Amino acid sequence: MKKTAVSFSGKDSTLALHDLLNSNEYEVKLLFSTVTDGFNRTSIHGVREELLEAQAESIGLPLKKIRIPEQCSNEKYGEIMLKEINDMKEMGIDHIAFGDLFLEDVRKYREEMLKSVGIKPIFPLWGIDTMEVIQRFLSLGYQTITTCVDLTQLPESFSGREITQQFLEELPAEVDPCGENGEYHSFVFDGPIFKEPILFKLGEKKFTNDIYTGHIRFCYTDLILSKK
């Protein structure tokens, strides 16, 4: 079987992981996620490290946290990722899976980076209609909540909401159902691959600026791990 690492973040990567775990072709050896130093949260999604760790523990797979600095440049990010990918190769990983759906530039970037290391990228959900992806995700029994929304594409009220049929029905027509264009990001807290749900409570909302314009653009909802 092909020894595989999975880039793990929100719902799309969770569904990709679900499919790989039910495959006879791939053996998932570990999950990896980027964590921003200083914030100690997953990059872009803004999820606390302890929640990420709780996910991996419930899924039952090792977790590799790739730490990047605040305001990380593309060049620095590439250097860090290349080193970490090389480390994975030395561990015996020969495939890396991503939950990307249709962004060609993102796929090309990943393919070029992995080609230089000799690891094969796989995209289990690539090209599937995004409404079909989210409907299948929900029909399997997964539960997820939005952690961040781009206020240029969605109102603040969509941040910190569980993704349900009602949520999908209320999305503006121009917003991708899976948020593939960055409209929103998510945290998965229960579903078939979890031994137990991740318990959490909602914290405060925080607004952050666009680094290019300086204007408020993102609304993050803090999720706080609950004691069992």
Cα 217 from Cα 101, distance rounded (Å): 24
Whether 142-225 and 2-122 are alike in CATH topology: the answer is: no
Cα 207 from Cα 228, distance rounded (Å): 30
CB 29 within 8 A of CB 62: yes
State pTM to two decimals: 0.94
User: What does CATH list as the number for 142-225?
Assistant: 3.90.1490
Tell me the per-residue pLDDT of 152-198, one tens digit each, with 9 for 90 and over.
Answer: 999 999 999 999 999 999 999 999 999 999 999 999 999 999 999 99
By percentage, how much of the chain surpasses pLDDT 90? 83
Q: Answer yes or no: CATH 3.40.50.620 is held by domain 2-122.
A: yes
Domain ranges, ordered by start, for the chain = 2-122, 142-225
Sign of the Cα torsion 44, 48, 49, 53 reads negative
User: How many Cβ atoms are within 10 Å of 179's Cβ, its own excluded?
Assistant: 26
Tell me the per-residue pLDDT of 211-225, one tens digit each, with 9 for 90 and over.
Answer: 667 788 999 999 999
Using pLDDT thresholds of 50, 70 and 90, give the confidence band for residue 228: low
Cα 51 from Cα 187, distance rounded (Å): 9
Name 88's bridge partners.
none
